[in-house]
Structure 1
Amino acid sequence: MNSGDTYRSVQGRYAEVASYTNDARKHGGYERKVASAFGYDVEDLRSIPENANLGVSCGNPLATANIGVGEVVIDLGSGGGIDVLLAAKKVGVEGKAIGIDMTKWDMLELARRNARDAGVPNASFIEAFITSIPLPSSTADCIISNCVINLVPEVEKPRVFQEIFRLLKPGGRVAISDILAKQELPMEIKKDLSLYVGCIAGASQVSDYERYLQEAGFQDATILDTHADLNLYKEIWTRKEANEPGPTGSCCDSMNNTTSGEINQLPDVDFNFWTGTFIYKDI
């Protein structure tokens, strides 16, 4: 796929995730299970609208971001708004939390509605690709992102880190949770559309991530393996293939065959063998 096709596939998938109603998304508490597995505190999750958590996290960048009152925080790929809303509470009314997302219909509308419902006036959302963000340079004290950069086409990933470097104030901080490849992915994984929109097939190798950071201007990159269990994402596939009730939306969801209506079968892939969740800290 070229970059345009990749973006359209990602936008389409995450628009579907955002469009599910609350009732349709509550089967088995899948979203809460994912968030808890990747480091979110239960009380924090209870403090925001339930559908701000879409079950698409692979970490909790806020846990290491050291956000302070009065700061400006930018979240790249803000989804339903979970990290923006939590960051907005941390920075207080003196600060700002800004979400960036490319999926206008459904996703950005959902996030803005969640901000209103949560009574968080210092949270805002901008429609943009994270490779080109319409904000002035030196805007943010801290930039966060959660399981999103892996979805950017490989040829455009360096531009994401260039934008991060541009938007940070001098002395600013970065906290990114993402899925990275532990080794070169085989072509059967790279070409699987479900695994691409599911954050697996587009994963960069750790060495490439380090190079992107260094070329953008970051020094002394610290990339840590969280050793989280990525096979948790398979729960949604397993339930669908068995025709059992299960979560209706996930980052690592099966892509329906548009001609036959059938659900693609889950590839026999151990996600933990090929990939892992990593946190990058520049703090």
Structure 2
Amino acid sequence: MDAANIYRHVQQHYGKIANHNALANLSDKYQEKVATAFGYSLQDIRSIPGNANLGVSCGNPLATANVKTGETVIDLGCGGGIDVLLSAAKVGPDGRAVGIDMTKDMLDLARRNAENARVSNASFIEASITSIPLDSSVADCIISNCVINLVPKVDKPLVFREIFRLLKPGGRVAISDILAKKELPSEVREDLSLYVGCIAGASQVHDYDRFLKDAGFLGVSILNTNSDLNLYKELWQAEKNNSDVSAPSCCGPHTGELQARAKSMLDFNEWAGSFQVYAIKPELGD
């Protein structure tokens, strides 16, 4: 799969989620179930507009980010705005929360959610997370939730270099992401529906560690939360049942039903896991 094709399918897929087409066959409680399973409290989830939580998280990066009053937080791949709005509450009126996303429909949704929540210290920028139109050293903390795995392998190092550039000296990065526990088989890696579903593009732990250290980070910590990734099958099944939102596939129509049956039997937890990642940009002189 070439990078341009991956980016195109990711934008299409998450644009449909932003418009709730991909969620049409799910119960209203699905998004809440996913969020709480991956580390959010019901209090946090119910403090923001429901549309901010789309059930596509794989963790809670704010649990380890240690966000403080007055800080600037940048969220890479902000989606409907869940972590931006929660960050805005933590940093207070003297702080700033900035959401970055390449999908216009997601940004439109996030802006509506911020407006509905009457949050005045949040803003949103349309950009790829490999190249963000902000000055260097502007953020105290950068977070991301189940997004970096969607970046094509060839571009992943660019994301970590961009995070390093944007952080102030001594700043920190807190990421929740899907990482592979072992080498993924080719039939998984080359399946676009599993790619946009956050499995096929997952890096292995040693690659993630290398990306961070090559970018210049210290104190790298990568921990498996042992959360159940098979929760995502409810969203995949909803997409399969919704004729308007069929997940893209690299296989021909004659293999579609066979492929669907195989994926329904695939144990995501065997191949991948939800990981919490933390690292620090060195202070000047370190």
Of residues 184-193 and 264-273 in structure 1, the stretch that sits farther from structure 2 once superposed is 264-273
Is residue 278 of structure 2 the alignment partner of residue 281 of structure 1? Answer: yes
1:44 paired residue number:
44
Separation (CA, whole Å) in 1 of partners of 2:45 and 2:74: 20
Equivalence map 1:66-215=2 (5 Å):
66-104=66-104, 106-215=105-214
Whether 2:11 is the aligned partner of 1:11: answer yes
Q: How far apart, CA to CA, are the structure 2 residues paired with 1:280 and 1:128? A: 23
Distance in structure 1 (CA, Å) of the matches to 2:175 and 2:239? 31
Opposite residue 209 of structure 2, the aligned amino acid is: E
- For 2:219, what is the secondary structure of its paired residue? coil
Distance 1:85 1:22 in 2: 23
Q: In structure 2, what is the Cα distance between the partners aligned to 1:2 and 1:204?
A: 16
TM norm structure 2: 0.89
What is the letter of the counterpart of residue 206 of structure 1?
V
Measure how far apart 1:109 and its partner are.
0.4
Corresponding position of 2:260: 265
Matched pairs, number: 274
d(CA) in 1 for partners of 2:23, 2:54 = 13
CA distance in 1, matches of 2:186, 2:11: 23
Could you report, residue by residue, the CA deviation over 1:196-216 in whole angstroms, capped at 9, with x for unpaired residues? Answer: 000000000000001100100
Q: Secondary structure of 1:125's match?
A: strand
SS at match of 1:172: strand
Q: Is the 8 A contact 1:184 1:205 kept in 2?
A: yes
In 1: Cα distance, 2:21 partner to 2:2 partner: 32
The answer as to whether partners of 1:59 and 1:178 remain within 8 angstroms in 2 is yes
Give the deviation of 1:23 after TM superposition.
9.4
TM (norm. structure 1) is 0.90
Change (3 A) 1:138 1:26: same
Work out the percentage of aligned pairs sharing the same amino acid. 64
Q: What is the one-letter code of the residue matched to 2:279?
A: D
Consecutive unaligned residues of structure 2, counting only runs of 5 or more, are: 281-286
Per the TM alignment, residue 26 of structure 1 is displaced from its structure 2 partner at its CA by 6.3
Unaligned runs of 5+ residues in structure 1 are none
How big is the shift at 1:254?
3.9
Aligned residue for 2:198, secondary structure, equals coil
Cα distance in 1 for partners of 2:85, 2:221 equals 26
